[in-house]
Amino acid sequence: MTLRLSASEYVRHLRRAGLRPSERLVNNILQCGDAAVDPLIDLATSVSLFYEEPPVVYAPIHALHLLGELRPLRMIEPLLKSVDVEIREMSSEREIWQYDVPQMIGRIGAAAVEKLWACVDDPAYTPFERDGALLALAYATVVDATVREPVIAEMHRRLMQSDDRSLNAGLVRAMAYLGLADMYSDIMARYRAGVVDQESMPAADARQTLLADKASRVVDYAKLSLWERYDRFGPFPEPEYNDFDDVEE
């Protein structure tokens, strides 16, 4: 007889999953549905684990990716509030996690848009957390085409009206990720007006990303499947990494 574990127990197995969880473990967690969400949020936001050794160092990445499959609305705030947690050094695992947070939030699509704009407008959010919300909005537009026009129009409106240099840098970054070359002139005009923080988002970086070939748009990464994401971005083994035996699932 097969032993059926609880959602929390399945999620705990991600701490021993190594570089990527097995399909069996992933399927067991996803089949738990909403019951797995809170344990996954707890693990995905346990950023202190990035100071640990393998295999546990990879666990927040696995939990984050699985949240991107389940797409619960309640993951938005805890994930955004974890991106600006002070760290002693940026490990490769933390870089993957940091890069993927707005993508996984963006995968929620239209249901996330109102909440994300509320986060952008919330003074309790740091500029870094606000940037994460703006990037998530950009990713949402490629996951759900119905929100593309209104989100882009709102980004453009805010950029043209705001004198908040930090906010404008985040808006430009999100618009650049979307490859909005038709808005190039307006964006560069805001740089010339001195209302975009160039330390956060240099004009040269904005120009390069805005005018990049459409085939290389960063924002399209939100559409990658779970296994495509692991294949393309890792985590990958370090030279000193040793495989760990898989646990019972």
> Where do the structural domains in the chain lie, given as residue ranges?
94-221
Share of the chain above pLDDT 90, in %: 86
User: Is residue 165 classed exposed, middle or buried when 0-12, 13-18 and 19+ CB atoms within 10 A define those classes?
Assistant: middle
Query: CB of 139 within 8 A of CB of 105?
Result: yes
pLDDT band with cut points at 50, 70 and 90 for residue 213: confident
Distance from C-alpha of 184 to C-alpha of 194, rounded to nearest angstrom: 16
**Residue 74 host element (H or E):** none
**Other Cβ atoms within 10 Å of 77 Cβ, number:** 18
The pLDDT assigned to 212 comes to 85
Backbone angles phi, psi at 149, to 5 degrees: -65, -50
Whether pLDDT at 99 is above 70: yes
pLDDT band with cut points at 50, 70 and 90 for residue 228: very high
Whether pLDDT at 217 is above 50: yes
**39-43, 102-106, 153-157, 238-242: range with lowest mean pLDDT:** 238-242
What's the whole-model pTM score? 0.92
pLDDT in tens, 141-163: 999 999 999 999 999 999 999 99
DSSP assigned state of 52: S
The pLDDT assigned to 240 comes to 56
User: Is residue 60 classed exposed, middle or buried when 0-12, 13-18 and 19+ CB atoms within 10 A define those classes?
Assistant: buried
pLDDT in tens, 100-111: 999 999 999 999
DSSP assigned state of 89: S
Q: Is the dihedral of CA 85, 75, 214, 186 positive or negative?
A: negative
Distance from C-alpha of 94 to C-alpha of 163, rounded to nearest angstrom: 32
Helix ranges, 71-211 (H)? 76-80, 92-106, 110-121, 127-143, 148-161, 165-177, 184-192, 203-210
Residues 6+ apart with CB under 8 A from 52: none
Whether pLDDT at 20 is above 70: yes
Query: CB of 108 within 8 A of CB of 151?
Result: no
